[in-house]
């Protein structure tokens, strides 16, 4: 049986794996990168199809808070590669970036493909350094009894021996692009603590589903310039943000929903459902909304009245009718209150494979400060397979790059201590 001898083996060709490969190859290490797909960076390319959101321009303290409970475990990685660091990295590859009106950072041409091409050219032709050797269509299936990495390549089995390994296998969403979570039982079998993978940055189904009339008329349409608020059991506000989202055939999805997804998911897990308040007119004070609703409407219909007085029509008016009883629509005070705090009940997150990203993964307690598994010296983990989550806005990609860089640096330290 032939065994491929590697100085460093990287399993996974997404941003984290490629960044680890860049760190190691530029330091002169011989790197072999394995990926189950026909080419690397497939999710990266698809995520950038509408414009690659590379990172965010927020100040470091605000940026770090987007990672919630994982803020502290990720601090060392993000201290070395944060938003400005991601921009410098792209610039070093010859890709200029700009800050959009929302604070998000994009390549000047908005495209992912030129960045990926420049990155792969750097990996194959580092100066100085050692070219990365890439092995496509190699699906990792764990370790054999001798500790060798085992890959399925077509009808063949390939084994590799490496002094150090970086696992950058992604989360559990978008399985058609390679992030299928198949690695979870492989690590769990080794006694490594892995938090269950759950959908993050995902859509939700509304309680009982939309009516046929609403779904047929408004599915796919955006709700713009609204505010979403979440309260705890005592009514204390715990989330309040303005933005937009989309009505789907079964519920809701989009950036504003994604930003609250972790809290909504927790509420569903704890209570069997979640509820948020939707302010349909966040820029208009409640007193003015009441005054406009209560204004005599004469012979005009309610739809004409609120369209004329509040410019409330289309999907916003449709959602109002969908979610409140007829008695509320007939009571100006109750109607005004609903416009400013429309209750939307959710029953479940959409399936994991539909999510933009996943929560859960290798628990940080199983790793040292450089991403190495305590129970498997020389094996490092990076990227979305770690137990963190963040909203869309460039945070996901930046943290994947940062943890990949950190793991690569950790490998260099490990190898230096074992020469």
pLDDT at residue 178 in the model: 84
Alpha-carbon span 388 to 402, nearest angstrom = 13
Cβ contact 15:116 at 8 Å: no
337 and 390 inside one domain = no
pLDDT single digits (tens) 245-272: 999 999 999 999 999 999 999 999 999 9
Domain end call among 330, 349, 368 = 349
Q: Are residues 64 and 132 in the same domain?
A: yes
Looking at the structure, tell me whether residues 61 and 135 fall in a common domain. Answer: yes
Q: What pLDDT sits at residue 309?
A: 92
Radius of gyration of the chain (CA): 25
Query: E strand or H helix at 12, and its extent?
Result: none
What angle separates helix 302-310 from helix 286-294, to the nearest 10 degrees?
Answer: 140
In the predicted model, is pLDDT for residue 233 greater than 90?
A: no
Do residue 192 and residue 209 come from a single domain? no
Q: Residue range 37-61: average pLDDT?
A: 91
Number of domains in the chain: 2
User: How do residues 125-167 score in pLDDT, each as one tens digit?
Assistant: 998 899 999 999 999 999 999 999 999 999 999 999 999 999 9
C-alpha–C-alpha distance, residues 396 and 385, integer Å: 12
Instruction: Give the CATH number for residue 114.
Output: 3.50.50.60
Residue 345, pLDDT above cutoff 90: yes
pLDDT at 46: 86
| 355 in a structural domain | no
Last residue of a domain, one of 326, 349, 372: 349
Residue partners of 300: CB distance under 8 A and separation at least 6:
308
363, pLDDT greater than 70: yes
In terms of domains, do 306 and 337 share one? yes
Same domain membership, residue 184 and residue 95: yes
**Range 343-370 burial, b when 16+ CB lie within 10 A, else e:** ebebbbbbebeebbbbbbbbebebbeeb
Q: Answer whether 159's CB lies under 8 Å from 5's CB.
A: no
Q: 55 with 191, same domain? A: yes
pLDDT at residue 240 above 80?
A: yes
Domain that holds residue 243: 204-349
Which residue, of 349, 373, 402, is where some domain finishes?
A: 349
User: How many other CB atoms are there within 10 angstroms of residue 374's CB atom?
Assistant: 12
Spatial CA neighbour of 202 closest among 348, 316, 66, 49: 348
Q: What is the mean pLDDT of residues 266-289?
A: 96
pLDDT at 319: 97
Residue 230 placed within a domain: yes
Burial class (CB in 10 A: 0-12, 13-18, 19+), 51: middle
Angstrom distance (rounded) from CA 301 to CA 307: 10
String of DSSP letters for 209-266: ---HHHHHHHTT-EEEEEEEEEE-TT--EEEEEEEEEEE-SSEEESHHHHHHHHHHHH
Question: Tokens for 17?
Answer: 């794996």
Q: Looking at residue 49, what is its pLDDT?
A: 81
Q: State the average pLDDT over residues 301-315.
A: 93
**pLDDT at residue 1 above 80?**
no
Residue 354 lies in a domain: no
| Residues 338, 364 within the same domain | no
Nearest 5°: the CA angle 84, 87, 90 is 155
pLDDT bracket for residue 419 (50, 70, 90): low
User: Could you tell me if residue 333 is inside a domain?
Assistant: yes
Q: Please give the Cα distance from 265 to 251 (Å, whole number).
A: 14
Chain Cα centroid distance, residue 161: 33
User: 178 and 55 in one domain?
Assistant: yes
User: Considering only CA atoms, which of 13, 5, 4, 60 is closest in space to residue 382?
Assistant: 13
Whether 246 and 276 share a structural domain: yes
Instruction: Give 357's Cβ-side CA count (13 Å radius).
Output: 30
For residues 74, 75, 79 and 81, what is the CA-based torsion angle, rounded to 10 degrees?
10
Cα-Cα-Cα-Cα dihedral of 206, 207, 213, 215, to 10°? Answer: 20
Note whether 259 and 165 are same-domain residues: no
- Considering the entire predicted model, what is its pTM? 0.92
* Beta bridge mates, 182: none
Average pLDDT, the chain: 95
Tokens of 192: 């490594």
Q: Are residues 269 and 367 in the same domain?
A: no
How confident is the model at residue 174, as a pLDDT?
A: 80
Contact 250, 226 (CB under 8 A): no
């Amino acid at each position: 049986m032939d065994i491929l001898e590697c100085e460093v083996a990287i399993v996974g060709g997404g941003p984290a794996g490629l960044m680890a490969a860049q760190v190691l190859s530029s330091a002169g290490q011989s790197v072999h990168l394995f990926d189950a797909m026909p080419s690397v960076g497939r999710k990266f390319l698809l995520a950038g199809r509408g414009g690659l959101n590379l990172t965010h321009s927020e100040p470091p303290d605000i940026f770090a808070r987007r990672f919630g409970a994982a803020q502290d475990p990720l601090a060392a990685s993000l201290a070395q590669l944060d938003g400005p660091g991601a921009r410098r990295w792209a610039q070093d590859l010859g890709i200029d970036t700009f800050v959009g009106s929302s604070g998000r950072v994009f390549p000047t041409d908005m495209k992912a493909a030129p960045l990926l091409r420049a990155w792969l050219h750097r990996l194959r032709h580092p100066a100085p350094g050692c070219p990365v050797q890439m092995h496509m269509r190699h699906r990792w299936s764990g370790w054999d009894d001798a500790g060798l990495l085992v890959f399925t390549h077509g009808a063949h089995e390939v084994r590799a021996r490496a002094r150090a390994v970086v696992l950058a296998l992604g989360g559990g969403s978008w399985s058609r692009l390679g992030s299928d979570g198949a690695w979870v039982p492989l690590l769990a079998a080794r006694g490594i603590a892995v938090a269950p993978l759950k959908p993050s940055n995902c859509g939700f189904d509304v309680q009982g589903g939309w009516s046929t009339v609403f779904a047929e008329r408004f599915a796919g349409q955006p709700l713009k310039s609204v505010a979403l608020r979440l309260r705890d059991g005592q009514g204390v506000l715990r989330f309040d943000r303005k933005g937009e989202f989309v009505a789907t055939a079964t519920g809701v999805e989009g950036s504003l929903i994604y930003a609250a997804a972790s809290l909504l998911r927790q509420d569903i897990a704890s209570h069997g459902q979640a509820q948020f308040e939707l302010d349909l007119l966040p820029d208009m004070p409640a007193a003015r909304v009441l005054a406009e609703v209560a204004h005599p409407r004469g012979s005009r219909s309610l739809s004409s009245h609120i369209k004329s007085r509040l410019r409330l029509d289309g999907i916003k008016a449709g959602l109002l009718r969908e979610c409140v009883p007829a008695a509320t629509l007939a009571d100006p005070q109750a109607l005004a209150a609903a416009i400013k705090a429309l209750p939307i009940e959710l029953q479940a997150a959409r399936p994991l494979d539909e999510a933009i990203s996943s929560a859960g993964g290798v628990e940080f307690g199983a790793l040292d400060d450089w991403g190495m598994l305590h129970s498997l010296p020389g094996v490092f983990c990076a990227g979305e397979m770690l137990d963190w989550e963040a909203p869309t806005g460039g945070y996901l990609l930046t943290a994947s790059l940062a943890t990949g860089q950190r793991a690569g640096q950790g490998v260099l330290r490990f190898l230096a201590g074992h020469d």
